[in-house]
Structure 1
Amino acid sequence: MTDAPDYKSTVFLPVTDFPMKAGLAQKEPAIAAKWEAMGLYDRLREKRAGRERFILHDGPPYANGDIHMGHAMNKVLKDIIVRSQSLLGKDAPYVPGWDCHGLPIEWKIEEEYRKKKLNKDEVPAQEFRAQCRAYADRWVGVQKEQFKRLGVMGDWADPYLTMKFDAEATIVGELLKFAESGQLYRGAKPVMWSPVEKTALAEAEVEYEDVTSTQIDVAFEIVEAPNAPELVGAYAVIWTTTPWTIPVNQAIAFGEEIEYAVFDPTPVIRSLEKVDVAQNSALQFFQGKKLLIANEPNLVRDFEERLNKAWSEFNAHFHLTQKSVVKGAQLAGAIARHPMAGRLSSPLPFRGGAGGGGVPDDTVSGARPHPTPSPEGEGLKSGSFFDRPRPFLPADHVTTDAGTGLVHMAPDHGEEDFIACKKLGIDPVFAVNDAGFYRDDWEWLPGQGSVINTKFNGVDGPICSDLRAAGALLSASDFRHSYPHSWRSKARIIYRCTPQWFIPMDKPQEGAVADVDGGVMPTPIIAGNGPTLREIAVDAIAQTRWVPERSTNRIRSMVEGRPDWVISRQRAWGVPIALYVHRKSGQYLVDPAVNARIIEAFKGAGADAWFGADHQALLGPDYDLDNYEVVNDILDVWFDSGSTHSFVVEGRYGEGTRADLYIEGSDQHRGWFQSSLLESCGTRGQAPYKAVLTHGFALDGTGKKMSKSLGNVVDPLKIMGESGADILRVWVASTDYFDDVRIGKEVLAGSSDAYRKLRNTFRYMLGALADYDEDSEAVSYAEMPELERYMLHRLAALDAELRGVVDKSKGSETWLEFSRYTRALFDFANSDLSAFFFDIRKDCLYCDAKSDPKRRAYRTLLDTLFHALVRYAAPIIPFTAEEVWQSRFPDEAESVHFLEWPEIEKHWLNGDLDSKWAELRSQREQVNEAIEPLRREKIVRSSLDADVTMGEWLPVGDVDFAEVAIVARVTMGEGDGIIVTPSEWHKCGRCWRKLPEVTEDGTLCDRCDGVLNA
């Protein structure tokens, strides 16, 4: 018996050098180098010149360290969007940028100083600023290369930096626009302050963490109560978790609609063994005291629990007995005495806790207690700040949710306190300096602190000890709650009243008129007649598209409720608030000629021009420098970044140009989105953007925030070094990034698997199209078999879905949902092509004659699919798309990224074909399921060995369902369900199909015989 012939060499197998193994970590740098050498970005600008422009304005990261996963996620998403808009044929430039000023940079230089045991304040300002500039410049260079490694395409040769001289000149010019329109004022009010960094902080620079503080209940003796004389001698009880504010107390707030009650707190002593001790403590302490708190059961219960906890060591048990009730309104006009009244003829000694020496005060020179005359109360003296009356005042912010329903007021350290006290003429006293210590001349605890120190505020700290000695500390215990911290130093912050510069949110737009005392000062054009910055901003929010739509509520509520914008910082590295304040009037100078000279000076030397300036020359001959104070505060870094639209978008594309899109994380609703909105609305009356996309944060694989201390940081640089940037990009594009997303080994493994399948799809197409000649092989739509026309329908449907994600003009609700885009693309490649179409047509490709019309139709469609899919994939996996394109069209001067969106014919969409083939595909799956048990039992080796009998007729028409199901034979309309049996036909030696004309295994079927003998 002779061996059967080997027909393997006669089969037209796919041929390609495109490797199955990606090796992205090694290949991607070479591809990136090629892009840079060919000037890909600049050439793309030339090719898209004159087209509709799409501007995505880059939010600037800080130039202070290697990129992290948040950076990678953000930049990749931006790049995907920019590339997709370019694919649509638009001119989509991308100008990357960096925030180079502010605390993050300055803090890093200070850390280096601390390591060397140097004091920043002893270094000349110009030298320190130069070191900050050099530090930022170094990290700009590092991060630039890391972003390029991610495959981010942009104008890397000319990025924007907020520390460039032209940028600094524009930033100060934007500030002066606010000054000229009267949208600027200097005032003293509480702002978020970092005692560690010695500067005011913006809300976006603050994060909240749970901490354990000391909660205390303090008794203030009531000495006058004209509307409720029975209260005289009782004690108003206040509750606070910031004991350090008691030395700055100036009043007590109540709610007019709240009912208050006087309670007898006499404790019951449960242990006779300790009765002597108790009599000398709890009983003695509370003897004769009547306590006033809100008459709310929950507050009374909680207050009792705090008393019981505080006095538990004496086995004292409290059950408050109500004595009388008063309405909140009756507290109007009442006066209490501070617990330390009459006790500070000399400073009390430090008794435990954290200490600290005197620290120079940075507040207004001559700051002193408010001069408002106060009526004398019983036993009150007039000399000491603590001997002055503490008036009761009504306040809307007093609630009965927690505490005692009475709130101690320190206008230095609370915005609501400040507002309520201001109505009574009670001013801040600036008792706490910039480092968080009490002033050296403060009567109680002079020079001591820091006030954020937990021991200083603790149960045994000096404040509690002194209050206890004064007979005023009713309770003190631990309290767990959320507290604001500086996101840079991670230290607790405080609210602190300091002189700062503000942009008002609720002041009508103003103009400017000449002032008789010299200079030009802001004055209302028509008081109350113009829109406020808040009103303009809220309207601009409504005119902007927010993605996802729910983020509209977040930004609107923040703008509606935000206080005036604090734009000043007490730091060294940044753009100065370049203003001159008239010493006599206290008003800042507004003169367009002076402002023009300032801006020109900045263009020549940057912000340093201000700190080393000849200010008389800048003022010019019309003003005498001796009459003006030179402001040396620097601008909030959020004002810098909020102004970037002016020197990036307008600066490069023309005045009045707005960005089509801003993209940042959800935290930027209170950061860059908001500062950009307010800056632009204040100077231009509109938002700087047409649309805003918000994405979530990158978490570890278990959903936890990444932290070096937890050891769960996923490093994008490591991922790129091991697996390649395209894998990371697949992860970004696949996530539902509108919410927080996870990344870890399992997640990345899924991304790698999805990438591998798509890569194999491209590899198959490259091999199947190896010798394809469009001129000689291509067939028309009309000549195509029904299966090919169905696949064109599927391609057209895919195209519509992908366009809905990238094309805003379609008005699609799925705009910018690239998880939908990526899922649709990958599913099409895997399910429609690899698992279905390619599977069916591999017999045609391998075994039909090269000139066979069906094979030509298949390869024509493969060519169409290739051109479409490589374009669709290019924004997601740009390195691989380039590799795929160059593998087929190895033209060194061209790139896949020059291509535009594929042309899809409308008539390809065919609902009838879709319905028919949906049914056929469903039946195909059922047939495969029916075959599988026989395959497992080795009754048949493959589906080609099976005969299938179906109980129902399928609407196959001219379609050979046996070919679709890849079986030997299909019989319809017999029996019930699907029956599978081994085929009795013989197998063709070349195509391996079992056909009736094959006389014995290994001989040829008619088709294969014709191909070989043609």
Structure 2
Amino acid sequence: MCADKTDTIDYKHTLNLPKTEFPMRAGLPKREPEWLARWADMDVYGQLRDKAKAETRQPFTLHDGPPYANGHLHIGHALNKILKDMVVRSQQMMGRDARYIPGWDCHGLPIEWKIEEKYREKGLDKDAVDVVEFRQECRDFAAGWVDIQREEFKRLGITGNWADPYLTMNFHAERVIAEEFQKFLMTGTLYQGSKPVMWSPTEETALAEAEVEYHDKHSFTIWVKFRVLESVDTPVVDSEDATGAVQAVSDLAGAKVVIWTTTPWTIPSNKAVVYGADYSYGLYEVTATPDECWADVGERFLLADKLAADVFAKARLEDDQWTRVRDVPSDELAGLSLQHPLAGAEGANGEWDDPRDFRAADFVTDEEGTGFVHCAPSHGMEEFELYRDLGMLADVITYNVMDDGSFREDLPFFGGKRILRAKAKKGDWEGDANGAVMSKLAEVGGLLARGKIKHSYPHSWRSKAPIIYRNTPQWFAAVDKAVGDGQDTYGTTIRERALRSIDELVTWTPQKGRNRLYSMIEARPDWVLSRQRAWGVPLTCFTKKGAAPTDADYLLRDEAVNARVLEAFEAEGADAWYKDGAKARFLGNDHDHDAYDQVMDILDVWFDSGSTHAFTLRDRTDGSEDGLADLYLEGTDQHRGWFHSSMLQGCGTMGRAPYRGVLTHGFTLDEKGMKMSKSVGNTVAPEKVVQQYGADILRLWVAQADYTVDLRIGDEILKGVADSYRRLRNTVRFMLGSLADFDASKAVARDDMPELEQLILHKLAVLDGVVREGYARYDFQGVFRAIFDFATLDLSSFYFDIRKDALYCDGDTDRQRAALTVLDALYARLTTWLAPILTFTMEEVWLERNGPDTSVHLVDFPDTPSAWRDDALAARSETVRAVRRVVTGALEEQRTAKVIGSSLEAAPTVYLSPDLAAVITDADTFADLCITSQITIVEGDAPEGAFTLADTAGVGVVFGTSDGEKCERCWKILPDVGTHSHAGVCGRCDSALD
């Protein structure tokens, strides 16, 4: 270690001390915008594209999953875009043509809802506004937020074609979305059906699974009586009761089948009750009743035996107030029919008088409820599918619930009642429909019990309001019908193609993403394509008046009509569909305009985003040569969102998935692992992190974390990240300072270097493989950890610590030249390897040595010679470092005891076993490694009392102090100090001064 000053002669000016303008304090919040402006002026992204074209590089395309253009960025956006940027930058620097076209989703409810909120605040009626005018407001709103979000993304250091992003509302994009829809129309996978779909009464539209989130909700729960009817078709079956008496099945007539539901509002739409064929059922009789009970003495109930006691407890009946009469086998149940509890009620006008169907179903459970399930097939998918498969849908479908979640006006007792309020009141969305139904059931004696439960319930992720299942006519893409397009390499149906794509064509990071999407695709129903809104791409099709949806000519399939639509969309956008005279314009003279209806529903926004590959990767010159993406990268929720819809859309239009790889990351949580919420106040805004720490700290947070699980962030976590950044910055600063006067013409060949330098080059060669393999696997945490450990442990705490003496105090020696040569190799690699992560800082480091006319982001990772790798040397070095640990341990013991202050005061004797002595042969070199002035090596057993470490056999250290005087230039204590021409220095320093 060298001195900063001496007592007599100041030799400081003779030392080769580090010289650099690179500051210890980064000042990232202030300086990062300057680099952003510089990159923009240089058009770094454009230069990379030109370079790739000139070098005919292999393309790599990360297709951007489009965020909604409707608000400022949150920390999840930052995580997502930074991961994408690390992928793009690292692929580029590994020799690919890494293209990135940012995109935005501009249609659908997220935008439309904001415009409607503005209307509601002004007391305006959306329906009174011209639809084209309304759509223009949506377009302007989205365009404004695109500009805001673009600047927020750029501030994070995200590279890409920001000047020409893709927008789903661009005219060409709207034309292609319509064109992709027309492929479903023309190949026969499109159909109109009526089935229960997730419906938002608040937004008055169907929702996709990806538009739904689950929150706890308090729901009414009721136990309802359905009376068993006598029927001439019911056989009389004898059976024995508990007393051995023979009874006929007719004793069930008048008994009540009890159902349980958490949706009282569906009772008016009940058409059936189902039971489990394999469960044990019994006939139960009430023998006594307490006050405030909805059961009567002598009243009989049919219940699953496993659940009977719980049901009676809910009805406030004690165990001695009811008795089990007998078994009721399932073959007896099969002969029954039931009466709706509202049948015959005064004022019901016969609405519920028809007998209710009663049969077995495999979705019944005896784990909760009563063992019987009430069926309203208009509001439940399992019930719908049961009666669809029985061919009985016409008998059981109802249309009692309107778009806004209110009962139809002419429904007896309940007309106009709403399932949900139009607007939440103190967070409560409960309307008056449930209360009205329960009151009427109690009035007519149809209620046995009621209560409330708290359970997870689906809500719209936009309005945050609960949703319902509602049967409405919708447009579907059939996932199990053969697609008539001839692209059958991976199957004939959308589902077959998707499942084979998942297994044969896509690489999943992490692999568990495959399992999640596979199970979803395997079990999913047909894709609901239609939405009942105004802002989006319409379903560009026509239906024949008077024809049924099942008729072959119901849908107009005419290529000429399609072409006219697409031509108009390309020139005017999808607004052309809504302009006056649109139907006549598109049907032309080929068809009778009065014979067809124009469909006015819009496409599910997931169809829009699922189609983005077509107008981005396929159609753009900077897209992908084969129209496929090398990678889709989004959060885990996109297995049911963008990954899912893109898979379905691609398999429906081009026979396979539009991507070759999928990477999924977790969600962002606060420091305690809690979900972020504005109401809780635990959100972390990217803008604030950037203002306080700089974007590189946010990028480093992403790199240090395991993105495959949920990521935590907060002040303390960011402080830890900033500390890691400072340690790395100091390492880089030392390299820059030491290399200030490096003359590349004096570089030393690897074979002429000391073993210590050869060892560092070996480690660089090994690290080169780790870095490249890690980046190729998108393992940014592994890459950064490997570089950070190397920089802080192998360099700062070992190599730099050892070589400071030679770098500062040697003259122009081979050893100093070798060290500088290694530092130059370290600089070239660490700076570029870290550039995809610390985008701004590594640019600063690069400019410090390379001048203002270049950028680290214009270069590739340098090639690392394979000859640098020397496993035998590495093995020897591990032995030497093990011995060194014993020596430094012995010195630390003396330092703690205040015997010495600096290791240079020590001259230990090191006793080595013969095999270790054969490795460590040069005492002076080993003294440099141990940062001591002198060392004596003795082959043989250490004397008693020598310092040893249990994990390092064959080494003992006897402490001793250095002989001689302290060199006033390098601070080593050596016998020859003071015997040379320059006063107070050792021989090495005397030569350096000469």
Same fold (TM over 0.5): yes
- In structure 2, the partner of 1:391 is 357
Which of the numbers 642, 655, 659 marks the counterpart of 1:672? 642
Q: 1:458 to 1:118 in 2, by over 3 A?
A: closer
Please report how far the alpha carbon of residue 285 of structure 1 lies from its aligned counterpart in structure 2 after TM superposition.
Answer: 3.2
What is the aligned counterpart of 1:326 among 325, 328, 336? 328
Deviation at 1:329, TM superposition (A): 4.1
Q: Is the 8 A contact 2:417 2:431 kept in 1?
A: no
Counterpart in 2 of 1:805? 774
**Matching residue of 1:273:** none
Task: Give the 5 Å matches for 1:651-662.
Answer: 651-652=619-620, 653=623, 656-662=626-632
Once the two structures are superposed, residues 869-892 of structure 1 have per-residue CA deviations (whole angstroms, 9 ceiling, x without a partner) of: 111011001111111111111132
Q: Which amino acid in structure 1 is aligned with residue 405 of structure 2?
A: G
Give 2:974's aligned residue: 995
Q: Which runs of 5+ in 1 are unaligned?
A: 270-277, 347-382, 513-524, 808-814
Residue of structure 2 aligned with 1:647, choices 615, 629, 637: 615
Cα distance in structure 1, aligned partners of 2:429 and 2:146: 41
Unaligned runs of at least 5 residues, structure 2: 1-5, 236-248, 549-553, 949-956
Task: Kindly indicate whether residue 723 of structure 2 is the aligned counterpart of residue 717 of structure 1.
Answer: no
Which amino acid letter does the alignment assign opposite residue 920 of structure 2? V
Cα distance in 1 for partners of 2:979, 2:149 equals: 68
Q: Cα offset for 1:4?
A: 2.0
Give the match's secondary structure for 1:336.
Answer: strand
Instruction: Kindly indicate whether residue 459 of structure 2 is the aligned counterpart of residue 477 of structure 1.
Output: no
- The answer to whether 1:1011 aligns with 2:978 is no
**8 Å contact 1:214–1:458 — kept in the other structure?**
no
Q: Which amino acid aligns with 1:917?
A: S
Do residues 558 (structure 1) and 579 (structure 2) align? no
Q: Which residue of 2 aligns with 1:785?
A: 754
Would you say 1:689 and 2:654 are equivalent positions?
no
Distance 1:400 1:193 in 2: 29
Give the SS at the match of 1:392.
strand
Distance 2:879 2:356 in 1: 83
1:86 matched to 2:92: yes
In the alignment, is residue 569 of structure 1 matched against residue 531 of structure 2?
yes
* Contact 1:267-1:317 within 8 A present in 2 as well: no
Whether 2:256 is the aligned partner of 1:287: answer: no
In the TM superposition, what are the counterparts of 1:231-310 in structure 2 within 5 Å?
231-267=252-288, 269=290, 278=291, 281-282=292-293, 285-296=295-306, 299-308=307-316
Aligned equivalent of 1:373: none
Whole-angstrom distance in 2 between the partners of 1:210 and 1:542:
36
Superposed CA deviations along residues 576-595 of structure 1, whole A, max 9, x for unmatched, are 01110011324111111111
The range that moved more, 985-994 or 859-868, is: 985-994
How far apart in 1 are the matches of 2:213 and 2:374?
A: 26
1:793-850 CA-to-partner distances (Å, cap 9, x unmatched) read 111111111111123xxxxxxx111110111111111111111111110000000112
- Contact between 1:455 and 1:461, CA under 8 Å: does it hold in 2? no
How far the C-alpha of 1:3 sits from its partner, in A, is 5.0
Q: Say if 2:718 is the partner of 1:748.
A: yes
Asked if structure 1 preserves the Cα contact closer than 8 Å seen for 2:762 and 2:868, the reply is: yes
Q: Distance in 2 between matches of 1:656 and 1:344?
A: 69
Distance 1:318 1:143 in 2: 68
Structure 2 residue corresponding to 1:541, chosen from 499, 502, 505: 502
* Secondary structure of the structure 2 residue equivalent to 1:94: strand
1:429 aligns with 2:398: yes
Which stretch of structure 1 is more off in the superposition, 664-673 or 926-935?
A: 926-935
Give the match for residue 360 of structure 1: none
Q: State the shift of 1:12 in Å.
A: 0.6
Shift of 1:15: 0.4
Q: Is the 8 A contact 1:214 1:457 kept in 2?
A: no
Could you tell me which residue of structure 1 aligns to residue 228 of structure 2?
A: 222
Instruction: Look up the SS of the partner of 1:48 in the other structure.
Output: helix
Q: Which amino acid aligns with 1:830?
A: T
Task: Find the counterpart in structure 1 of residue 928 from structure 2.
Answer: 963
Change (3 A) 1:630 1:781: same
Kindly state the Cα deviation for residue 317 of structure 1 after the two structures are TM-superposed.
6.1
Counterpart of 1:440?
Answer: 409
Paired residues of 1:509 and 1:530 also in contact (CA < 8 A): no
Q: 1:536 & 1:594 partners in 2: Cα distance?
A: 29
| Shift in CA distance, 457/126, structure 1 to aligned 2, threshold 3 Å | closer
Q: Does 1:855 align with 2:836?
A: no
Aligned mate of 1:794, from 723, 742, 763: 763
Shift of the 655–885 alpha-carbon distance from structure 1 to 2, 3 Å rule, reads closer
Q: Output the CA distance in 1 between the equivalents of 2:498 and 2:7.
A: 85
Quote how far apart the aligned CAs of 1:999 are.
5.3
Counterpart contact for 1:987–1:1000, Cα < 8 Å: no
Distance change >3 Å, CA 502–CA 774, structure 1 → 2: same
Residues in 1 aligned to 2:888 and 2:331: alpha-carbon distance in whole angstroms: 82
Q: Which residue of structure 2 aligns with residue 765 of structure 1?
A: 735
Q: Distance in 2 between matches of 1:923 and 1:700?
A: 45
2:38 alignment partner, one of 34, 41, 44: 34
Show the counterpart of 1:122.
Answer: 128
Offset from partner CA, 1:542-599 (integer Å, 9 cap, x none): 1211110111110000111111110100011000011100113241111111111111
Identity of aligned residues (%): 48
State the AA in 2 paired with 1:692. Answer: V
- Contact 1:510–1:530, Cα closer than 8 Å, also in 2: no
Shift of 1:328: 2.7
Q: Could you tell me how far apart the structure 2 residues matched to 1:770 and 1:302 are? A: 83
Aligned 8 A contact 1:265 1:320 in 2: yes
1:530–1:620: structure 2 CA closer, same or farther, 3 Å change rule? Answer: farther
TM-fit CA distance, 1:968: 2.6
- Write the letter of the residue equivalent to 2:27: G
> SS in structure 2 opposite 1:618?
helix
Q: CA deviation at 1:318?
A: 6.2
| Alpha-carbon separation, structure 1, partners of 2:861 and 2:334 | 73
Q: Is the Cα contact below 8 Å between 1:344 and 1:444 reproduced in 2? A: no
Residue 449 of structure 1 deviates from its aligned partner by 1.6
Amino acid at match of 2:308: V
Q: Could you tell me which residue of structure 1 aligns to residue 592 of structure 2?
A: 624
CA distance in 2, matches of 1:918, 1:530: 56
Residue 582 of structure 2 corresponds to 614
- 1:193–1:199: 8 Å Cα contact kept in structure 2? yes
Deviations 1:690-748 (A, max 9, x none): 01000001111111111111110111101111111001000011110001010011111
Normalising by structure 2, what TM-score? 0.91
- The answer to whether the Cα contact below 8 Å between 1:265 and 1:318 also exists between their aligned partners in 2 is no
Report SS of the residue matched to 1:846. helix
Provide the C-alpha distance between the structure 1 equivalents of 2:529 and 2:567, rounded to a whole number of angstroms. Answer: 22
- 1:833 paired to 2:835: no
| CA root-mean-square deviation | 2.1
**AA in 2 matched with 1:659:** A
AA paired with 1:611?
Y
The change in CA–CA distance for 1:932 and 1:580 in structure 2 (over 3 A counts) is: same
The question of whether the paired residues in 1 share the 8 Å contact of 2:222 and 2:260 is answered with yes
Pair 1:599-2:573 in alignment: no
Moved more, 16-25 or 933-942: 933-942
Q: Is the 8 A contact 1:182 1:511 kept in 2?
A: no
**CA distance 1:723–1:533, change in 2 (3 Å):** same
Residues 755-778 of structure 1: per-residue CA shift (max 9 Å, x gap) = 111111111111101011111x10
Bigger drift between 621-630 and 168-177 goes to 621-630
How far apart, in 1, do the equivalents of 2:625 and 2:726 lie?
A: 47
User: Which residue matches 1:174?
Assistant: 180
Distance 1:266 1:921, change over 3 A: farther
Separation of aligned partners in 2, 1:76 and 1:875: 9
Asked whether the equivalents of residues 268 and 317 of structure 1 are also in contact (C-alpha less than 8 Å), the reply is no
Query: Cα 1:864–1:329, aligned 2, differ >3 Å: closer, same or farther?
Result: farther
What letter matches 1:557 in structure 2? S
Q: Distance in 1 between matches of 2:582 and 2:926?
A: 90
Match of 1:901 in 2: 861
Give the secondary-structure state (helix, strand or coil) at the position aligned to 1:66: coil
Q: For the Cα contact (< 8 Å) 2:963–2:974, is it kept in 1? A: no
Q: Which residue of 2 aligns with 1:12?
A: 16
Residues 87 and 900 of structure 1 are in contact (CA less than 8 Å); yes or no, is this contact kept in structure 2? Answer: yes
